[in-house]
Amino acid sequence: MQQKDTTRRGDTRERLILAAEKLFGEHGIHGVTLKQINEAAGQRNESALHYHFGSKASLLAAIFEHRVRVIDERRVAYLDEVMRKGEEHDLRAVVIATFLPMAELLDTEEGVRFVRFLAQALNDPEIDLPSLALRSEFAGIRHTASLLTASLGDLPPEIAIQRQRFLVEMIVSSLAIWTRHHGAASDVAARTLFLANLFDSIVGFLTAPVSAETLNALKRATKKKDRK
Of the candidates 142, 162, 143, 134, the residue with the CA atom closest to the CA atom of residue 88:
143
> What's the pLDDT score for residue 48?
85
Q: For 6, phi and psi rounded to 5 degrees?
A: -65, -40
List pLDDT tens digits, range 107-154.
888 888 899 999 999 888 888 877 777 677 789 998 998 999 899 889
Contact 95, 168 (CB under 8 A): no
List pLDDT tens digits, range 15-74.
999 999 999 999 999 999 888 999 999 987 778 888 899 888 889 889 988 888 899 999
List pLDDT tens digits, range 86-105.
999 999 999 999 999 988 88
Distance from C-alpha of 15 to C-alpha of 43, rounded to nearest angstrom: 9
List pLDDT tens digits, range 153-207.
899 999 998 998 898 889 999 999 988 876 666 788 888 899 999 999 999 999 9
Work out the angle between the directed axes of helices 139-151 and 91-103 (0-180°, nearest 10).
150
**In Å, how far are 28, 69, 118, 171 from 177, measured between CA atoms?**
15, 23, 12, 10
**Biggest alpha carbon–alpha carbon distance for the chain:** 70
Q: What is the pTM of this model?
A: 0.82
Secondary structure in 3-state letters for 174-208: HHHHHCCCCCCCCCHHHHHHHHHHHHHHHHHHHHC
Confidence of residue 7 (pLDDT cuts 50, 70, 90): very low
pLDDT at 1 over 80: no
> What's the pLDDT score for residue 108?
82
Distance from C-alpha of 34 to C-alpha of 56, rounded to nearest angstrom: 8
Residue that wins the pLDDT comparison between 58 and 83? 83
Residue that wins the pLDDT comparison between 165 and 83? 83
**In Å, how far are 14, 63, 112, 176 from 207, measured between CA atoms?**
41, 33, 29, 24
Q: For 223, phi and psi rounded to 5 degrees?
A: -60, -45
